[in-house]
A = this chain, B = another copy of it.
Amino acid sequence: MIARLLSALSAALCLLLAACASPPLRGTGDLGVVIERARGSVQIVEQSARRSLGRVDGLGDLSHASVVFSRDGRYAYVFGRDGGLSQVDVLSQRLVKRVMQAGNSIGGAISSDGRIVAAQNYQPGGVKLFDADTLELLAEVSTGGSKVVGLADLPGNRFAFSLFEAGEIWLIDASQPRAPQVTRYPNIGRQPYDGLASQDGRHYLAGLYGEDGLALLDTWQPEQGVRRILNGYGRGRAALPVYKMPHLRGWSLAGDYAFLPAIGHHQVLIADRRSWQEVARVPVHGQPVFVMAEPGGRRVWVNFAFPHNDTVQVIDVPSRQIVATLKPGRAILHMEFTARGDAVWLSSRDDNRLTVIDTATLNTIAELDAEQPSGIFFTWRAQRMGM
Residues of A within 8 A of B (CB): 2, 5-6, 9-10, 12-13, 16-17, 19-20, 22-23, 25-31, 47-48, 69-75, 91-92, 112-115, 153-157, 175, 200-202, 220-221, 254-256, 274, 294-298, 318, 338-343, 359-360, 379-380, 382-385
Contacts and interface: CB of A to CB of B under 8 A. Distances in A.
Contacts of A220: 298, 318
A296 B71 contact: no
A48 B22 contact: no
Nearest to A318: B220
Indicate the member of A70, A71, A255 with the most B CB atoms within 10 Å: A71
Contact of A28 (B2, B28, B254, B338): B28
B298 A274 contact: no
B385 A91 contact: no
Stoichiometry, copies per complex: 2
A382 B360 CA distance: 20
Contact of A20 (B16, B73, B75, B359): B16
Contacts of A23: 25
B297 A202 contact: yes
Contact of A22 (B25, B294, B360): B25
Given A27-B28, A29-B73, A297-B202, A13 B20 contact: no
A385 B380 CA distance: 13
25 contacts: A6-B9, A9-B13, A13-B16, A20-B20, A25-B25, A27-B70, A27-B74, A29-B70, A29-B74, A29-B379, A29-B383, A30-B71, A30-B114, A48-B71, A48-B72, A112-B342, A113-B340, A113-B342, A153-B340, A155-B296, A202-B255, A296-B385, A339-B382, A339-B384, A380-B383
Contacts of A340: 112-114, 153, 155, 201, 383-385
Nearest to A294: B155
A175 B360 contact: yes
A155 to B, nearest CB: 4
B28 A73 contact: yes
A19 B338 CA distance: 33
Nearest to A221: B318
Given A20-B20, A379-B29, A274 B295 contact: no
